[in-house]
Amino acid sequence: MEELILSIITLFVGAAVFIVGMNMMSSGLKKSTGRGLRRLLKKIRNNRFACFGIGTTVTALVQSSAATGVMAIGFIAAGAMTVFQGVNIILGAYVGTTVTGLIASLSSISISKYFVILAVIGVILMFFKKELIKNIGEILTGLGLLFFGLNTMSGAIMSNTDLVKGIEDFFEAVKFPLLLLLIGAIVTALLQSSSASIGITVAMVGSGALHFEQAVYIVLGATIGTVITLLIATIGGNVNVKRTGLIVLIIRILAALVALAICWPLAGFISKGFSAVFGNNNALAIAVFHVIYNIIFMLAALPLVKPFEKLSVKLIKDKEQEKMKQALKYIDNHLLNTPSVAMMQVKREIINMMHMAQNNLKLGFKRLIEQDTSNDKELIETEDKIDYINNQITSFLIDLTHTASVQDERKIGSFFHVVNDIERIGDHAYNFYESSSKMIENDLKFSEVAVKEFKGMFDVINQMFDLSFIIFHDQSATNLKKLHELEDQTDDLKNKLSTAHYERIQKNMCKMENSPFYTTLVSELERVADHLVNVGYSIVNPVGDDEFEKQEA
């Protein structure tokens, strides 16, 4: 009894280590996903066979479909891989693991248990100062812990001989195919390894304790149970991670049930066929059956990934996406049928986006100047909303060009430029937030003199915002000229403030450590002014500064 309790405790410890490793690996991937891998994934975005091949190859190397699946989940969580790519890679992994399972049936040696050494290597790399090496160390540490967790969970059960013997006796007593399938799924879920459960099945078939027909149903159940490891990895993941787990689970269940429906009435025929090929070597026969089943059914499932992805979107709602949709107030695809109304509404949506950008700029500026963190949540959420609205307006304008008049097409072109500039202003607001975080982390703060200078420059920016709203309504060349003059004023202020700052440094009136943040803030404000004047020109005079100056002359 004590040994059983110890096995259960070890099982939970393994699960805990597994989840920690998964989170650490995902964090490292987020920080250091290479451009080369991103380009590769981008190239094969819609190539299901390439993704399938990657999954098969990687799994054949690491000897663990669970590890490959979890790595795919990590990439999806990091935003480096789409759900479509991830699912196809995981389906390929299930084929790859049959090859290694076949090798395992011929040899007791498995290299996967030695992969835990990656955790040691990773920890060493995390002591390096270079950020890239530290990130790689974090990935390797997470991967090593992941393998350690998998091996611990599997070993917790396999080390208890009484429990294993009980499982063998239980299998021998059960005859009903559907029940055998269910048992195969449950045992695999407990062992956290389809290779382990199929290894037990192969051993029982080889010893004569289990008939080939019974083993077939247990193997089919094992293909469902192996998804549990993947589902554990989705705990706490984002919506795309959860959708990936659901799709894979549905595919594995459907594949097993279809195979069951075929094998049940044809059990005798299938048994004779394998017996004719492999003779009395039922252990090898069941291992080959596992290979054939996965190759046929996983390849057959590839065309179903897209439909199941659409189904998963309907079943698992993206709460953040729904929240983002509420930020969109005026445009809707139904308006595309009435271009004149659509143009008015998209203009209102752009003004709404401008108000959000202006408010976020104020929040970001306040955080940097006063180090006030009370509005952080609002600032971050608003930045996400600005990005969302930018994408939605851009898509809406693209669709609107198909039905718009020649006159409206010119306005649409100017609107494209406007939303791009507003989005960039939103980015600058978020940059203030990031700079402020670094200053707080390093216990730095601007002097009262510097704060006063910044506020003077920021007042000019606010005047430019107010003028931009007016220009949106009256398209006045006079107001555009005023906007241009204010932008020239920010250029002058940038030079004056920078000179004054370095003079204070020479007189030891300002900390040298503040310099990068000071110059960055001045530059950011000047760039905001540039974007605001671009907004004005896009509305009144899309041809540019030179042409405007000729008209004024």
Tell me the C-alpha distance between 23 and 229, whole Å. 14
Tell me the C-alpha distance between 273 and 267, whole Å. 10
Q: Are residues 264 and 403 both part of a single domain?
A: no
Final residue of a structural domain among 317, 351, 369: 317
Tokens matching residue 280:
């009395």
- Taking residue 288's Cβ as centre, other Cβ atoms within 10 Å add up to 17
Best CA proximity match to 470, nearest among 459, 457, 481, 456: 481
Q: Are residues 362 and 262 both part of a single domain?
A: no
Q: Are residues 311 and 344 both part of a single domain?
A: no
Tell me the C-alpha distance between 515 and 500, whole Å. 12
Q: Are residues 266 and 340 both part of a single domain?
A: no
Range of the domain at 532: 324-552
Exposure of 24 in the CB half-sphere (CA atoms within 13 A): 24
CB 455 within 8 A of CB 369: yes
pLDDT given for residue 159 in this prediction: 67
Residue 331's alpha-carbon distances to 50, 135, 337, 472, 489, in angstroms, are: 39, 42, 12, 17, 36
For 212-246, write each residue's pLDDT tens digit: 888 889 889 988 988 887 888 787 778 888 999 99
Q: Are residues 80 and 128 both part of a single domain?
A: yes
Q: Which of 154-158, 453-457, 474-478 has the highest mean pLDDT?
A: 453-457
Q: Are residues 304 and 394 both part of a single domain?
A: no
What is the DSSP-derived secondary structure letter of residue 235? T
SS3 call for 444: coil
Looking at the predicted structure, is the pLDDT value of residue 542 above 60? Answer: no
- Least confident range from 137-141, 243-247, 376-380, 473-477: namely 473-477
pLDDT given for residue 158 in this prediction: 59
Q: Are residues 170 and 25 both part of a single domain?
A: yes
| pLDDT tier for residue 532 given thresholds of 50, 70 and 90 | very high
CB 533 within 8 A of CB 484: yes
- How many domains does the structure of the chain reveal? 2
Best CA proximity match to 320, nearest among 385, 377, 383: 385
Looking at the predicted structure, is the pLDDT value of residue 432 above 70? Answer: yes
For the residues 323-333, what does the mean pLDDT come to? 79
Higher per-residue pLDDT: 159 or 426: 426
Looking at the predicted structure, is the pLDDT value of residue 167 above 80? Answer: no
User: What letter represents residue 314's amino acid?
Assistant: K
| pLDDT tier for residue 108 given thresholds of 50, 70 and 90 | very low
Final residue of a structural domain among 291, 317, 343: 317
When computed from its CA atoms, the radius of gyration of the chain, rounded to whole angstroms, is 31
Best CA proximity match to 5, nearest among 162, 203, 138: 162
For residue 33, is it left (φ>0), alpha (ψ between -120 and 50) or beta?
beta
For the residues 347-373, what does the mean pLDDT come to? 91
Helix (H) or strand (E) holding 329: none
CB 399 within 8 A of CB 512: no
- Taking residue 101's Cβ as centre, other Cβ atoms within 10 Å add up to 23
Q: Are residues 467 and 526 both part of a single domain?
A: yes
Average pLDDT, the chain: 81
User: What letter represents residue 207's amino acid?
Assistant: S
Query: Nearest-5° angle of CA 78, CA 79, CA 81?
Result: 105
Best CA proximity match to 376, nearest among 367, 385, 384, 387: 367
Looking at the predicted structure, is the pLDDT value of residue 8 above 90? Answer: no
Residue 334's alpha-carbon distances to 308, 314, 383, 410, 416, in angstroms, are: 27, 21, 27, 22, 20
Q: What is the CATH number of the domain that holds 452?
A: 1.20.58.220
Exposure of 30 in the CB half-sphere (CA atoms within 13 A): 13
Residue 257's alpha-carbon distances to 2, 220, 274, in angstroms, are: 38, 8, 21
Q: Are residues 278 and 395 both part of a single domain?
A: no
Tokens matching residue 225:
């149970």
For 268-308, write each residue's pLDDT tens digit: 888 888 888 877 777 778 888 888 999 999 999 999 999 99
Best CA proximity match to 518, nearest among 422, 473, 453, 426: 453
| pLDDT tier for residue 150 given thresholds of 50, 70 and 90 | low
Q: Which of 108-117, 453-462, 538-547 has the highest mean pLDDT?
A: 453-462
Q: Are residues 313 and 332 both part of a single domain?
A: no
User: What letter represents residue 424's amino acid?
Assistant: R
Q: Are residues 249 and 341 both part of a single domain?
A: no
Q: Which residue has the tokens 């709460």?
A: 319
| pLDDT tier for residue 14 given thresholds of 50, 70 and 90 | confident
For the residues 348-375, what does the mean pLDDT come to? 91
Final residue of a structural domain among 283, 317, 351: 317
Q: Are residues 306 and 346 both part of a single domain?
A: no
CB 182 within 8 A of CB 218: no
| pLDDT tier for residue 157 given thresholds of 50, 70 and 90 | low
Report phi then psi at 129, rounded to 5.
Answer: -80, -30
- Least confident range from 8-17, 266-275, 367-376: namely 8-17
CB 237 within 8 A of CB 73: yes
| pLDDT tier for residue 544 given thresholds of 50, 70 and 90 | very low
Tokens matching residue 290:
């596992």
